[in-house]
Structure 1
Amino acid sequence: MPMSFNQAIIEEFRANAGRVGGPFSGGDLLLLTTTGARSGREHTVPLGYVRADGLLLVVASAAGAPDHPQWYRNLLARPVVRVELGPETFEAVAVPAEGDRRGRLFEAVVRVAPGYGDYQARTARLLPVVVLEHPGADAPGSGPREVANLADKLLEVHTWLRSQLRYVRAETEAHFAAGSTGSAGDGRPPGLGLQIRQHCLALCEGLTHHHTGEDGAIFPALARSHPQLRPTLDRLGEEHRAVGRIKAELVRLLAGLGTAEPERFRAELARLSAALEAHLAHEEAELLPVLADIPFPPRR
């Protein structure tokens, strides 16, 4: 079967550390991998990108088509994406800009790449401007760190989770404060914004992945090699289930984005925050000394 146009670009990109020829020669191109909203399968697309205001931006233009591209619908459901940029690969949280911020960023994009203005002129659809945020990049002490053992890897994951939680809390308070000053427009509590939603979904997705890995692989292996830890691992597993129940309630709240009850969301977020912070601290206190002796990645 002949290779598709996109697949040919993807293979050339990966074979040449991000450099491609033909119509994209010299252009700013990245590969974005999203997870299918329904299928759960990974999908990779080559996209042009723009850097503006210190941000990495992509536009869901679909060349001015009337409908959003599938990769955009995917990231609304599962915000954690993989970005390949030159020789670098990293995970990011995809957050569509809203309101005035979207307008400012789109203007910045068009100054660099005027073609996006032409695409917008072709459609009544407001072209989404998506910020690809490097998770934890703004967290204190969260610069690149060497991962030499499983303790380092655990701290890396926990730093990521804490960064998402901190962002959601701060953005939620700013959102409610805007509503209390009347900037929401009609005096009613504001609905939850896309920025809060995306980071909250990313936090929930990260928690699920992290706890599934621990419960299914790491904890059973530790219980076999360190039997004295079994009671501790059992307690941590119970904490996973408690955090999971609160997380499921948050996901249900987010399902009705436009009608979510802000005060209920605030209360659930406070409860999740307290439970998660306590769990992360407990897990680190109990496991880091043991995990420091286990190399990561595992040695063959």
Structure 2
Amino acid sequence: MPTSFHQSVIDEFRANEGKVGGPFEGGDLLLLTTTGARSGLSRTTPLGYVRHGGSLLIVGSNLGGPRHPGWYHNLLARPVVRVEVGTRSFEALAVPAEGDRREELFAHVVRAVPGYGDYQAGAGRVLPVVVLERAEPEGWEGPGEVRTLADKLLEVHTWLRGQLRQVRAEADAHFAARAAHQGPGAPAAPGLGLQIRQRCLAFCQALEFHHASEDGHLFPGIVRHHPHLTDVFARLDDEHRTIARVQGDLAALLAGVVIADPRRFHAELDDMSARLNAHLDYEEEALLPLLADVPWPPEVPKG
């Protein structure tokens, strides 16, 4: 739970379109909502931020304390976060910067807010610099206006395909860079970065939620009205279990901050891509015609 001070800041922020007084007065402040790594509960924290191009930067300073703040551990476990800035609220992908990029971004932060340099000097650890990026894959525009349940299903499928395509493109670029580091005297090959880890973990969590929603709500509702499609749903159910196994293997490789066994990760990612795309194609062929006349969002009964 937020401290009483934090809660008062959160309440003031939301009541005054992002403006607060006290020690935060005049500063750039956002609200970051993460999902507890262990509890699964939402946690909201007021944080200062610095703009960098189209992204927002936050620093795990913990007021210069010796440990990373709880919100940082949460976003490593569940990378999709909710951000409130002024009157806007949106989902973002939280990606800690690494290596030279972290140094460059931290220098940018210190130029804007010198106090972070003081925190770094006394912390005895490297303060994480986290980039809050768009959660959507590059080029995301969606399938257009969503009026029916068929449109909604296609929107989710398009998002999943785009997210997986972006993870694979980043992983392929990484392995191309590794190939350039082969041979005697070559520098050490780069490790799989947090950018790949965070985006892949976000994809896995979104896919798990989507399939759980289908299994728990969508599919049973359709079966009740179309019992002749029992074989179709038996196949979809089997594919869900197979994809869940591959997803579990990917999640296990993402359990640490450093991705375990990069080559196996690449192979599992290729397997996921082939299986998921084939599954989504079949599901769309079988279900979209059935859902084309079901309004979205659902109509609320009157009275």
**Post-superposition shift, 1:200?**
1.4
Aligned to 2:275: 275
Cα gap change, 1:155 to 1:129, in 2 (>3 Å): farther
TM-score by length of 1: 0.90
Aligned to 1:177: 176
**Post-superposition shift, 1:135?**
1.9
- Maintained 8 Å contact 1:243/1:272: yes
CA distance in 2, matches of 1:47, 1:34: 12
Question: What SS does the corresponding residue of 1:255 show, helix, strand or coil?
Answer: coil
Question: What SS does the corresponding residue of 1:156 show, helix, strand or coil?
Answer: helix
**Post-superposition shift, 1:201?**
1.1
Aligned to 2:249: 249
Q: Which runs of 5+ in 2 are unaligned?
A: none
CA distance in 1, matches of 2:57, 2:290: 41
- Maintained 8 Å contact 2:80/2:135: no
Q: Deviation digits for residues 137-192 of structure 1, max 9, x if unmatched?
A: 5225349x543332232233223322321222122122222222229997665443
Question: What SS does the corresponding residue of 1:293 show, helix, strand or coil?
Answer: coil
Cα gap change, 1:222 to 1:88, in 2 (>3 Å): farther
Q: Aligned residues: percent identity?
A: 61
Aligned to 2:46: 46
Aligned to 2:149: 150
Question: What SS does the corresponding residue of 2:295 show, helix, strand or coil?
Answer: coil
Q: What are the within-5 Å matches in structure 2 for residues 27-106 of structure 1?
A: 27-106=27-106
**Post-superposition shift, 1:205?**
0.6
Aligned to 1:204: 204
Q: Deviation digits for residues 234-268 of structure 1, max 9, x if unmatched?
A: 32222111110111111222235547222211111
Cα gap change, 1:151 to 1:269, in 2 (>3 Å): same
Aligned to 2:22: 22
Q: Which runs of 5+ in 1 are unaligned?
A: none
**Post-superposition shift, 1:40?**
1.4
Aligned to 1:231: 231
CA RMSD in angstroms, aligned pairs only: 2.5
Cα gap change, 1:3 to 1:67, in 2 (>3 Å): closer
Question: What SS does the corresponding residue of 2:254 show, helix, strand or coil?
Answer: helix
**Post-superposition shift, 1:51?**
1.4
- Maintained 8 Å contact 2:197/2:259: no
- Maintained 8 Å contact 1:135/1:160: no
TM-score by length of 2: 0.89
CA distance in 1, matches of 2:37, 2:283: 32
Cα gap change, 1:227 to 1:259, in 2 (>3 Å): closer
- Maintained 8 Å contact 2:177/2:189: no
Which has the larger displacement, 85-94 or 71-80?
A: 85-94
Which has the larger displacement, 20-29 or 46-55?
A: 20-29
- Maintained 8 Å contact 1:189/1:262: no
Letter in 1 for 2:23: P
CA distance in 2, matches of 1:183, 1:194: 22
CA distance in 1, matches of 2:130, 2:256: 21
Cα gap change, 1:281 to 1:90, in 2 (>3 Å): farther
Question: What SS does the corresponding residue of 2:51 show, helix, strand or coil?
Answer: strand
**Post-superposition shift, 1:80?**
1.6
- Maintained 8 Å contact 1:79/1:202: yes
| Residue 126 of structure 2 corresponds to residue 126 of structure 1 | yes
CA distance in 2, matches of 1:63, 1:186: 41
Question: What SS does the corresponding residue of 2:34 show, helix, strand or coil?
Answer: strand
CA distance in 1, matches of 2:32, 2:87: 14
Aligned to 1:113: 113
